[in-house]
Amino acid sequence: MKYLLLAFALFAAPLAAQDQDLGAPSAEGGEVETLGEAQDDGGLTFTVTDESDWQDLGVAIPGFATDRDVATPANADGTAALGREVARVITANLRNNGLFKPVGPDSLPQPSFAQITAPNWGTWSGRGAEMLVHGYVRARTDGRLLFGCYLYDVALQDELVREGWVVPPADWRRAAHKCADLIYSRLTGESPFFDSRIAYIAETGPKDRRIKRLAIMDSDGANHRFLTLGSATALTPRYSPDYKRLLYLSYVDGNPRIYVYDIGTGRQVLVAQTGNPTFAPRWSPDGRYILYSMAIAGNTDIYRVPSNGGQSVRLTDTPGIDIGGSYSPDGSKIVFESDRSGEQQCYVMNADGSNQRRLSFFGGRCATPEWSPRGDQIAFTRIAGDFNIAVMGTNGRNLRVLTKGWQDEAPTWAPNGRIIQFFRTERNSGRSALWQVDLTGRNERKLPTPVDASDPAWGPLLP
Amino acid sequence: MNVRLASTLLLTASLGLAGCSKKAPEELPPPPAPTTTEAPAPAPYTPAGPTVGSQAHFENAVNGQNVIYFDTDRYNIDSADAAALQAQAQYLARYPQVNITIEGHCDERGTREYNLALGERRANAAKNYLTGLGVDASRIRTVSYGKERPVALGSDEGSWAQNRRAVSIVIS
């Protein structure tokens, strides 16, 4: 009977009590249709780890033009106002990345619709702009919006790349993110990442009675939504690769348990129906499996269960705490945390649990390892006096500490593996906020959130 | 108040426990919430003090030793913890209708998920000690709060020592 319960845990109907802390569900946005050619001739000769020569690269981003200023559900003032708003979103994306010096539409002349494909070069070279972004927005008869995005080299007076997207009005920001991604990718040679979302825990209240709610937002903090009401403590969310589900820990029944929350329906089920506490949920890169950690009589081990239900497999069996786990992008290996040596260190194993070996041998402790989506590095919390975000190679070598906070914890990778988000807790007050840092360690910034924030989980590029 | 003090002294004496814990935190935790702020009840036949099976009654009976403390990153039961758990076991032996939850807690200087596992290990260490003293395991539930519910709010050794704890709570 016990076996059956475990085996079919994910098919279990949600109990009424499990839904007590949930807000009203609302489905995610619609499809984005990509038009036009995406040139794939590589980027310019820059790399992110050597940005010193081009971080002052001037990029002018005037308002997107529109052929006809008409009403749209995306902006109360019509498509012309929407065009300026799109340019503001792109400008903020590129500026916050720390690699560019973009100038936005509020201090630039507005090009006409005809100029989008035939820029007035004199205007822009006279302003010292090296790169020029033009775009347009057009309301289609089917109710959707068409966005065009063009990147020009002002000195060469030449077009570098263009692309177009058709989106439902509610998803207009995705077109802006896709344009920012197009510019970023073309100029750096790196993969895109702006068109993605973040799940995290929103925190309010005093240190000893903290209210913790599950929340989600776009990569730039927009479209923010609370998913739980705060009557039960929620922790450690993880987006599924298709963004349809969230794994997270909730105390809604009085015990720490992991749930799978369906974002569209607002329903949730236990990952493992056992009397034991479960924590540290993770997805496999293809979304087919869930890793969870379960304590039995105080001894915590890592388990794997198919995400649509099935039998759990125990992957670790040492005495002590084996916890967490992050798959390599190809799904063949898992990096995890264990105190089998007497203190928290990072270990790696094959996806079936075989060939477990310790990875971290530098001073201090290694916790919360996360494999880069590019596969080349592992980010983790380094504990050596203070808590800091660090990266190492997948062989455990080339340790680099990226942050200097008092308590920086729980790294999560941008979809392109070039930026790491984490949360920073202040000494004494216990207040926490989301931060991000790039792999140089030089571009660090705090993310705006409506309230205090922790446990960020950056999802992949939106499908 | 006199009755409460007297019964506390009596129990302490009868259990033969040394008063001081070897590993007491540098600062003592704040006194328990005033659970006995009952309105002065003049009814002559009502016995004063908390009722059997209440948290206040339990804490009085074990002389406040319903909390045990741990060293950094440790979960072993030392002699001070053992004395406290013996007092708890005697209470549970005397009142077999009483069940408890042991909450495991950690200080803030640990990563969130590891602390959840460590709190569970601490709660289980306390539970195992009690069952070793003859308390039926079915009477003891454990729950870990990791670093989510500190009692001391500072970021210093004294506060952290108070937060690394296992708290026994009577299930009402």
pLDDT of B12 reads 39
Tell me the whole-structure pTM to 2 decimals.
Answer: 0.86
Q: Which chain B residues are closer than 8 Å to A210 by Cβ? A: 148
pLDDT of residue A33: 83
Torsion of CA A298, A326, A284, A13, to 10 degrees: 30
pLDDT tens digits for A111-154?
999 999 999 999 999 888 999 999 999 999 999 999 999 999 99
pLDDT of residue A35: 78
- d(C-alpha A389, C-alpha A379), whole Å: 7
- Chain B neighbors of A321, CB-CB under 8 A: 114, 117-118, 121
Q: What local confidence, expressed as pLDDT, does residue A100 receive?
A: 87
The pLDDT score that the predictor gives to residue B33 is 53
CATH number of the domain at B94, please: 3.30.1330.60
Between chains, do B121 and A233 touch, taking CB under 8 Å as contact?
Answer: no
A128: left (phi over 0), alpha (psi -120 to 50) or beta: left
Residue pLDDT, tens place only, B74-111: 999 999 999 999 999 999 999 999 999 999 999 999 99
Burial A376-404 (b: 16+ CB within 10 A, else e): ebbbbbbbeebbbbbbbebebeebebbbe
Per the DSSP assignment, residues forming a β-bridge with A367 are: A381
What are the φ/ψ torsions at residue A172 (nearest 5 degrees)? -60, -30
pLDDT over 90 for what percent of chain A?
84
Identity of residue A29: G
Closest to A3 in 3D by CA, of A312, A288, A442: A312
Question: How far is it, in rounded angstroms, from Cα A270 to Cα A273?
Answer: 6
Helix %, strand %, coil % of chain A (to 5): 15, 40, 45
Query: What distance in Å separates the CA atoms of residue A324 and residue A381, rounded to the nearest whole number?
Result: 13
CA A141 to chain centroid: 34
* Minimum distance, in Å, between the CA of residue A304 and any CA atom of chain B: 17
- Is pLDDT above 60 for A4? no
The shortest CB-CB distance from A321 to any of B114, B143, B149 is to: B114
d(CA A296, CA A276): 6
- The answer to whether residue B102 neighbours chain A at the CB level (below 8 Å) is no
Distance from CA of A276 to the nearest CA of B (A): 9
Across the interface, of A383, A425, A428, the residue whose CB is closest to B154 is A428
Q: Which two tokens stand for residue A291?
A: 């890793």
Is residue A20 scored above 60 in pLDDT?
yes
Which is it for strands A400-401 and A407-413: parallel, antiparallel or unpaired? Answer: unpaired
Distance separating alpha carbons of residues A328 and B163, to the nearest angstrom: 36
Please identify among residues 131-150 of chain B the ones whose CB lies closer than 8 Å to any CB of chain A.
143-144, 146, 148-150
Question: What pLDDT is stored for residue A214 in this prediction?
Answer: 97
More reliable by pLDDT, A107 or B17: A107
A179-196 per-position pLDDT tens digit: 999 999 999 999 999 999
Distance of CA A308 to the CA centre of its chain: 23
Query: Please, what is the average pLDDT of chain A?
Result: 90
Q: What count of Cα atoms within 13 Å lies in the side-chain half-sphere of residue A453? A: 25
A23 burial level (CB within 10 Å; 0-12, 13-18, 19+): middle
Q: How confident is the model at residue A30 (pLDDT cuts 50, 70, 90)?
A: low
In this structure, CATH architecture of domain A196-461:
6 Propeller (2.120)
**Shortest alpha-carbon distance between residue A19 and chain B (Å):** 21
Mean pLDDT of B26-55: 60
Asked whether residue B96 is assigned to any structural domain, the reply reads yes
Collect all residues of chain B within an 8 Å Cβ-Cβ radius of residue A255: 143
Q: A249: nearest CA in chain B?
A: B113
Q: Which tens digit of pLDDT belongs to each residue from A207-257?
A: 999 999 999 999 999 999 999 999 999 999 999 999 999 999 999 999 999
Residue A22, SS3 per DSSP: strand
Is the CB of residue B157 less than 8 Å away from at least one CB of chain A?
A: no
Q: What is the pLDDT of residue A51?
A: 41
Average confidence score pLDDT of chain B: 83
Instruction: Give the nearest chain B residue to A281 (CA atoms).
Output: B113
Q: Is residue B118 part of a domain?
A: yes
Closest of A116, A115, A136, A133 to residue A68, by C-alpha: A136
- pLDDT exceeds 60 at position A12: no
Tokens of A160: 């570098």
pLDDT, tens only, B110-147: 999 999 999 999 999 999 999 999 999 999 999 999 99
By Cβ distance, the residue of B108, B109, B120 closest to A295 is B120
Residue ranges of the domains in chain A? 5-188, 196-461
Tell me the chain A residues in contact with residue B144 when contact means C-beta distances shorter than 8 Å: 256, 277, 295
From 3.40.50.10070, 3.40.980.10, 3.90.1150.10, 1.25.10.10, which CATH number describes the A5-188 domain?
Answer: 3.40.50.10070
If one counts the domains in chain B, the total is 1
The pLDDT tens digits for A355-390 are: 999 999 999 999 999 999 999 999 999 999 999 999
Average pLDDT over residues A94-118: 92
Q: How many CB pairs under 8 A join A and B?
A: 91
Q: Is A109 exposed, middle or buried (0-12, 13-18, 19+ CB in 10 A)?
A: middle
Q: Which residues pair with A238 in a beta bridge?
A: A247
Domain that holds residue B98: 69-151+162-171
Chain A residues 288-347 within an 8 A CB cutoff of chain B: 293, 295, 297-300, 321, 323-324, 337, 339, 343-344
| A451 and A214 Cβ atoms separated by less than 8 Å | no
How confident is the model at residue B37, as a pLDDT?
46
Residue B8: inside a domain: no
Inside any domain, residue B52: no
pLDDT band at B45 (very low <50, low <70, confident <90, very high): low
CA torsion A286-A322-A392-A188 (nearest 10°) is: 30
pLDDT greater than 50 at residue B7: no
At A163, list the tokens.
């692309």
Q: Tell me the shortest Cα–Cα distance from A338 to chain B, in angstroms.
A: 9
| Residue range A162-173: mean pLDDT, rounded | 96
CB contact under 8 A, A321 and B121: yes
